Amino acid sequence: MLRALAVDDEEPALEELLYLLGEDPRIGTVLPALDATEALRLLERAMAAGPDGHEAVDVVFLDINMPGLSGLDMAELLGRFAAPPLIVFVTAHEDFALRAFDLKAVDYLLKPLRKERFAEAVRRVAELTRAGQGPAGVLGDQVPVELGGVTRFVSIADITYVEAQGDYARLHTPHGSHLVRIPLSALEEQWRSRGFVRIHRSRLVALGRIEELRLDGGNLTVRIGDRILAVSRRNARELRDLLARRAQGAVGGPR
């Protein structure tokens, strides 16, 4: 069973969190803390007792807006632990989902908490714990997006291309698009290793999603699904080189 630490500086919110954790059959022991300082003290004690100790912690359900050390600050500190617990943020604020993504949180729950949504977060934690996975890479394959007050997670593997819209980026998938508050330059740096390449100053594409490369009257374009996207002269050579290496790898791969 999962061993949890619940952290919230407001007693009614902490009591609700403790109640929901106590009602879930996948949760065993639960430790409460009214601030990050107390939570860190409990975690240090848990680490000293070892992974099989009574006070060990698998997951921290963590409020964000707390006096002194915030939940985000605490999560950043936990990321430096040799074997950090998983983190689920529980907050009334929608604005920190992208930061939660950077901190490798398992989930991001908005108050007031819904029992079904809370159970889904516990399910994610339970699956990761059974698989023996730590927080690294948990949200690394997903992007949190806000839809009508609900945080959803879009798989990066489903994203075909990205367009810059000021300080925001619009993520396109075969099923629709989502606006996130993160610059295109940041996504380019983070997702280069995932096969995303810049084809224009305002656009990234997933290399594996390119179905056709066209040269018409000196203008280069790519086709992704039913979309034709322009390639700038500045980015044309790099794109061609990457596509050529990809084709050579496919031809020269295992038989």
The listed range with the strongest mean pLDDT (15-29, 82-96, 209-223) is 15-29
Predicted confidence at residue 101, as pLDDT, reads 72
Residue 82, both tokens: 């040799």
Looking at the chain, list the stretches that DSSP marks H as alpha helix, in order from N- to C-terminal side.
Answer: 11-23, 36-49, 71-78, 97-102, 115-130, 184-191, 233-251
**Residue 147, strand partner residues:** 150
Q: Give 166's DSSP letter.
A: T
Amino acid sitting at position 181: R
Looking at 50-201, list the stretches that DSSP marks H as alpha helix, in order from N- to C-terminal side.
Answer: 71-78, 97-102, 115-130, 184-191
Cα–Cα distance measured from residue 164 to residue 216, given in angstroms and rounded to the nearest whole number? 25
- What's the full length of the chain, in residues? 255
* Of 38-42, 93-97, 203-207, 209-213, the least confident: 93-97
- Asked if omega into 112 is within 30° of 0 (cis), the reply is yes
Indicate the average pLDDT of the chain.
Answer: 85
Does residue 214 have a pLDDT over 50?
Answer: yes
**What does DSSP say about strands 161-165 and 212-216: parallel, antiparallel, or unpaired?**
unpaired
Quote the distance between the C-alpha of residue 80 and its chain's center.
18
Q: How far is CA 59 from CA 29, 40, 133, 135, 139, in A?
A: 11, 13, 12, 10, 15
Does residue 133 have a pLDDT over 50?
Answer: no
Tell me the per-residue pLDDT of 46-64, one tens digit each, with 9 for 90 and over.
877 776 677 789 999 999 9
Predicted confidence at residue 212, as pLDDT, reads 93
CA 127, 50, 139: angle at the middle one, nearest 5? 30
86 close to 136: Cβ distance less than 8 angstroms: no
Residue 120, both tokens: 């889904």
Residue 173 host element (H or E): strand 168-173
What is the side-by-side order of every strand in the sheet holding 212-216? 212-216, 219-224, 227-231
Question: Which of 121, 114, 194, 112 is CA-nearest to residue 153?
Answer: 121
The sign of the dihedral angle between the CA atoms of 22, 25, 29, 33 is negative
Predicted confidence at residue 134, as pLDDT, reads 43
How many percent of the chain have pLDDT more than 70? 89
Predicted confidence at residue 217, as pLDDT, reads 82
Predicted confidence at residue 116, as pLDDT, reads 92
39 close to 60: Cβ distance less than 8 angstroms: yes
Predicted confidence at residue 137, as pLDDT, reads 34
Does residue 45 have a pLDDT over 50?
Answer: yes
Reported as a pLDDT band with limits 50, 70 and 90, residue 193 is confident
Q: Give 197's DSSP letter.
A: E
Predicted confidence at residue 170, as pLDDT, reads 92
Average pLDDT over residues 202-228: 92
Cα–Cα distance measured from residue 190 to residue 182, given in angstroms and rounded to the nearest whole number? 11
Tell me the per-residue pLDDT of 109-124, one tens digit each, with 9 for 90 and over.
999 999 999 999 998 8
* Of 88-102, 141-155, 211-225, the least confident: 141-155
